[in-house]
């Protein structure tokens, strides 16, 4: 478990506290529509912390070329249709390529670090 993170739930828990089974079953919100409205059709997207593909899959269905990065191989096993999946901590990513768009969705929700909790959007 990453320092300052915690989490409970069914099945495997990722180092930042996410229950893989839960994220595999969660429905998507407005994120794919927001991204689609903001970026060129067919853009290359680097999705950091993709999880099980909750946002990845609708982006792929909309024709984007998504590279999905997550440090949890159990999350990435559930990602379908991505141009590439990369199992790595974001802090050590060195892909050697450029992307039109970089996304980072639902990322700090399990941290208990007060600095990051302040940075979290409170919906
Ligand atoms: C709260 S989940 C959100 C998943 C997905 N973005 C979504 O919205 O459904 C956060 C994901 O980020 C991954 N993650 C957290 N910190 C990471 C890091 N430093 N490097 C790579 N992946 C990380 C976790 O393994 C987890 O799958």
Q: Where are the domains of the chain?
A: 20-111
Ligand 1 center to 59 CA (angstroms): 17
Q: Are strands 44-48 and 101-104 parallel, antiparallel or unpaired?
A: parallel
Please give the pLDDT value at position 31: 94
Ligand 1 center to 40 CA (angstroms): 25
Span 90-115, average pLDDT: 84
Instruction: For residue 91, give the ligand 1 atom closest to its CA.
Output: 19
Please give the Cα distance from 107 to 51 (Å, whole number): 10
Please give the pLDDT value at position 47: 97
What is the CATH class of 20-111? Answer: alpha beta
> CA of 15: how far to CAs of 8, 23, 70, 79, in Å?
11, 14, 11, 18
Q: What is the pLDDT of residues 39-86, one digit of tens each?
A: 999 999 999 999 999 999 999 999 999 999 999 999 999 999 999 999
Ligand 1 center to 1 CA (angstroms): 13
Average pLDDT, the chain: 90
- Integer Rg of the chain from CA: 14
Please name the residue that has the structure tokens 């990322």.
107
State if residue 17 touches ligand 1 by the CB under 6 angstroms criterion: no
């Amino acid at each position: 478990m990453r320092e300052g993170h915690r989490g409970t739930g069914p099945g495997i828990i990722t180092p930042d506290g996410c229950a893989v089974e839960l994220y595999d079953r969660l429905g998507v919100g407005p994120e794919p529509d927001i991204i689609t409205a903001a970026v060129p059709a067919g853009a290359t997207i680097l999705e950091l912390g993709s999880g099980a593909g909750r946002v990845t899959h609708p982006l792929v269905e909309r024709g984007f070329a998504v590279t999905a990065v997550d440090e949890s191989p159990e999350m990435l096993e559930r990602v379908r249709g991505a141009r590439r999946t990369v199992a790595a901590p974001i802090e050590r990513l060195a892909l050697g390529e450029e992307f039109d768009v970089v996304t980072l969705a639902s990322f700090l929700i399990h941290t208990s670090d007060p600095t990051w909790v302040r940075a979290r959007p409170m919906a």
